[in-house]
Amino acid sequence: MNNIASMPASPPAEAARLPARHYLNEAHTLRSWFLTTDHKRIALLFLASITVFFLIAGVAALLMRLELLTPEGDLVQAETYNRLFTLHGVLMVWFFLIPSIPTVLGNFAIPMMLGARDLAFPRLNLISWYLFVGGGTLTLYSLIKGGVDTGWTFYTPYSTLYSNSAVLSTVAGVFVSGFSSILTGLNFIVTIHTLRARGLTWFRLPLFIWSMYATSLILVLATPVLAITLLLLAMERFFGFGFFDPRLGGDPLLFQHLFWFYSHPAVYIMILPGMGVVSELVAAFSRRRVFGYKVVAFSSLAIAVYGFLVWGHHMFVAGQSPYAGLVFSALSYLVAIPSAIKVFNWTATLYKGDISLDTPMLYALGFIGLFTIGGLTGLFLAALGLDVHLTDTYFVVAHFHFIMVGGMVMGYLGGIHYWWPKISGRLYTEWMGRFSAITAFVGFNLTFLPQFLAGYLGMPRRYWAYAPEYQVLNVMSTLGASILGVAYAFPLIYLTWSFWKGQVAGPNPWEATGLEWRTPSPPPTHNFETPPRVTGEAYERSHAARGEA
Amino acid sequence: MKDMLSPWQALWELLRWAKRPFAALFPPVLSEHADGVDSFYMFLVGMSTFFSLLIAGLIVFFAVRYARGRKADRTRPPESNLVLEIVWSTVPLVLSVVIFFWGARLYLRLFTEPLGGYGEVVYVVGKQWMWKVQHPQGPMEIGALHAPMGIPIRLVMTSQDVIHDFSIPALRIKRDVVPGRYTSLWFQATRTGEFPIYCSEYCGTLHSQMLGKLVIQSPAAYAAWLAQGAAAGTAIQAGERLFTSLGCGGCHGAEGGAIRAPQLAGIFGRPVPLQSDGFATADEAYLRESILFPGRKVVAGYAPVMPTFAGQINEEQMVELIAYLRSLRLP
């Protein structure tokens, strides 16, 4: 076993003991956690809450996959199935994916990567967590009331007039949690502008910071549109205002335009942070600068900007004009280019690197592979004539899971494993980490590759029962999902264990370059004893540290 | 060789050949459009496989070649390389342009009336959770659509309640069926048989049971089927009965004398001058709007005296009325 602790650069004396005082043992009362303004503790609060949502949404997914093991609808009722996929979508999108990397890894790492003591607005950060938990509670309350059956997209007029389910409390939950997103985004933007250490110029920032900056722009600019849209929906459902219902003079397509004007940029909230993490991981485990630093940085911003211009590609068959379709298709290809450039840059970073395949790196390489497939299949869907056949089928389901699960969740887990020694001060058992990363990759492909094929064969999404000819592919998918379930449950166990019992990590077990690695693990509450000064470029290491063979 | 293949045709044949071993992964091919979509898909699958393997291969190669502890030349790793970066930005750009135009070409065909026009128009009404199909000259079907082979058929569709989507994988086409408006699709089947129809836009509890079958018959068999079904009453006849029972004829009929309201014979598909300037084409959407909201687009020269029929007729009756109006020819 290639044990991290045996690496030459970690002096054994230092690795033996945790620092005497750090942010975790500063205080132990409940009050010291629930009223904390320490970004690191708030990150852990978010970590615990999104893990709960991930588990609930994951169980919903497994129940769906079990139902789909046979063509007949036999395990659950159709109504239950519809509530399951809505629950899965709503929780995964708004209560796991969107907050995942920003609120946990962003909260934890951004101030330290900048050499700051905390975010610019520590109390706002705490409010953000309370809003998030409040919104999540409202959404879970809908679950107790029997759940929602609209799908996470809340399309009208189904959601406003026809659904007999807890639409209002769910929408209210998403609405409230949106303010959490806005506050977090605002906090990050201000922090990145104002709290950089001396010498840390914009082009010396780690690429994770660039991607979080781009993400924050989207959070702040797009989320209000979602809030307005959900408000209109609630007004129509509750008071009968005619915004979307044609019988009241409304237009159901208006809802789709407004919804996707938020939700397409939101897709980039669900991938840009993952890209940022992968840039860090590839640099750290190849021990060299990311190839084409500035291009990677600007491509994050380009993706964030283009993301606002392509919402109409969700509506090629919805009844919008074919000319609008042409424009949205063409613009969608613009997003493909910076995404492709990133993939090429990461790959080129490996060239002449000093590569070790530790757990975070396995997740990062898995991300690159799966994101490549997810991105390429996006080209299929942005192609008008082909999208007509593929949209609303399992092809779309497979595509966005490749981006959001193959991409974002792999990035998130890679990041968690990378910063875990900093978060906890301890190491997890390396082989367990590698085993999980590889299992997740295998399970993921087995789950979602068959769905591309089922989709091209015509299997529509959101079907509780399906034609027998799709069964073989669905059985493969369910089998894969079971493997994926194991791959996600396992880290929960060994990371929790290592939090108390793991081997002590030392300040920089990976020999990474960021400022966050220049402080003890776990860090003191104020992060740095003396404010750091930056004199070199991002990811720059001395030749001695590179360990040339 | 008598005639050389153009590069375009050669690519086409290559893609068709490449598809053959994977036939089980394709729905039946029921139209030329479906064949074209399959070839495009094969092109994209080939391209994606190439790039996925390229990236995966490079990652594995570098991970092995530059594994930590392994002797390798690591001197001066490049921080950027302008030529390389221009190449890997341009290649995706060029490919994107090709894909965009190819996809757009297939898409616009779905919105373009075929040369020689449509052979027949069929009305489709979606409601939770069934498809109702009305043939102007034939019967009303539930959950099935009969159509003749080789003749372009236009579907004009709307929904009685929520958004549905009329999807026929064998034709590689689908379109949302939206309440409050008409959307349309057209196809020309190249062989006979039965093929599934799905609702592809989530529409509530029994969304997955909102199924149908497309029955393609030879033109002769179809004509016989249509005639047999017509004996029980056609959509046009139902529309005529509605026209009478709703009292439309009082103003629009021959006895109205075209004084209070325009004559409707021969009006379908024609431009009509509007009170408020300009013209409107008297298509399905205009007729529907004028029946439900008569005050919106009043024909020039007439007073806005028509009462609204909103709430009195449902979408099925509406398409019957339209089928009837469409059938009226100038004497």
Enumerate the domain spans of chain A.
41-538
**Token match 């009336």: residue?**
B113
Do B241 and B224 belong to one domain?
Answer: no
pLDDT tens digits, residue range A385-423?
Answer: 999 999 999 999 999 999 999 999 999 999 999 999 999
Do B202 and B290 belong to one domain?
Answer: no
Judge whether B71 lies within some domain. no
Domain boundary among B110, B131, B164: B110
Residue A341 has pLDDT above 50, yes or no: yes
**Mean pLDDT score, A516-533:** 93
Do B128 and B216 belong to one domain?
Answer: yes
Residue A248 has pLDDT above 90, yes or no: no
Tell which residue, A129, A93, A125, has the closest CA to residue A110.
Answer: A125
Residue A533 DSSP label = B
Domain boundary among B230, B254, B283: B230
Domain boundary among B215, B230, B245: B230
Do B125 and B220 belong to one domain?
Answer: yes
Instruction: Determine, for residues B27 and A458 on separate chains, whether the beta-carbon distance falls below 8 Å.
Output: yes
Judge whether B72 lies within some domain. no
Do B143 and B224 belong to one domain?
Answer: yes
Residue A7 has pLDDT above 80, yes or no: no
Can you give the pLDDT at residue A362? Answer: 97
Do B96 and B166 belong to one domain?
Answer: no
Domain that holds residue B255: 235-327
Judge whether B85 lies within some domain. yes
Can you give the pLDDT at residue B232? Answer: 87
pLDDT band (50, 70, 90) for residue B258: low
* Chain A partners within 8 Å of B308 (Cβ): none
**Mean pLDDT score, A179-195:** 97
Question: Distance from CA of residue B302 to its chain's centroid?
Answer: 36
Do B125 and B55 belong to one domain?
Answer: no
Residue A433 has pLDDT above 80, yes or no: yes
Can you give the pLDDT at residue A3? Answer: 41
Contact in structure between A516 and A106 (CB atoms under 8 Å) = no
Contact in structure between B112 and B121 (CB atoms under 8 Å) = no
Residue B8 has pLDDT above 90, yes or no: no
For A353, list phi and psi in degrees, rounded to 5. Answer: -85, 180
Residue B241 to residue B246: CA distance in whole angstroms? 8
- Please, what is the angle between helix A252-269 and helix A272-286, to 10°? 10
Share of chain B above pLDDT 70, in %: 97
**Mean pLDDT score, A252-256:** 94
Do B212 and B278 belong to one domain?
Answer: no
Which residues 354-373 of A are in CB contact (within 8 Å) with B?
Answer: 354-357, 365, 368-369, 372-373
* Peptide bond connecting A522 to the previous residue in cis, omega within 30 degrees of 0: yes
Tell which residue, A245, A323, A318, A257, has the closest CA to residue B183.
Answer: A318
For B121, list phi and psi in degrees, rounded to 5. Answer: -115, 130
Share of chain A above pLDDT 90, in %: 89
**Token match 């720059």: residue?**
A540
Q: How many CB pairs under 8 A join A and B?
A: 269
pLDDT band (50, 70, 90) for residue A9: very low
Contact in structure between A130 and A47 (CB atoms under 8 Å) = no
Amino acid occupying residue B249? G
Can you give the pLDDT at residue A36? Answer: 96
pLDDT band (50, 70, 90) for residue A298: very high
**Number of domains chain B is built from:** 3
Tell me the residue length of chain A: 549
Can you give the pLDDT at residue A293? Answer: 94
Residue B1 has pLDDT above 50, yes or no: no
Residue A497 has pLDDT above 80, yes or no: yes
Do B95 and B124 belong to one domain?
Answer: no
> How far is A51 from chain B, CA to nearest CA, in Å?
29
Q: Is A1 on the interface with B (CB under 8 A)?
A: no
Which of A456, A459, A510, A543 is best to mutate for the B interface (most B CBs within 10 A)? A456
Could you tell me the CATH number of the domain that includes residue B179? 2.60.40.420
* Chain A partners within 8 Å of B310 (Cβ): 247
Can you give the pLDDT at residue A5? Answer: 40
pLDDT band (50, 70, 90) for residue A542: low
Do B14 and B92 belong to one domain?
Answer: yes
Residue B231 to residue B237: CA distance in whole angstroms? 11
**Mean pLDDT score, B259-278:** 88
pLDDT tens digits, residue range A52-90?
Answer: 999 999 999 999 999 999 999 999 999 999 999 999 999
Can you give the pLDDT at residue A547? Answer: 40
Judge whether B3 lies within some domain. no
β B153-159/B120-127 pair status: parallel
Can you give the pLDDT at residue A12? Answer: 47
Do B127 and B211 belong to one domain?
Answer: yes
Do B197 and B269 belong to one domain?
Answer: no
Q: How many other β-carbons are positioned within 10 Å of the β-carbon of residue A20?
A: 8
Query: What does CATH list as the number for A41-538?
Result: 1.20.210.10
Can you give the pLDDT at residue A549? Answer: 33
**Mean pLDDT score, B292-313:** 90
Can you give the pLDDT at residue A74? Answer: 92
Can you give the pLDDT at residue A14? Answer: 45
> How far is A369 from chain B, CA to nearest CA, in Å?
6
> How far is A543 from chain B, CA to nearest CA, in Å?
10
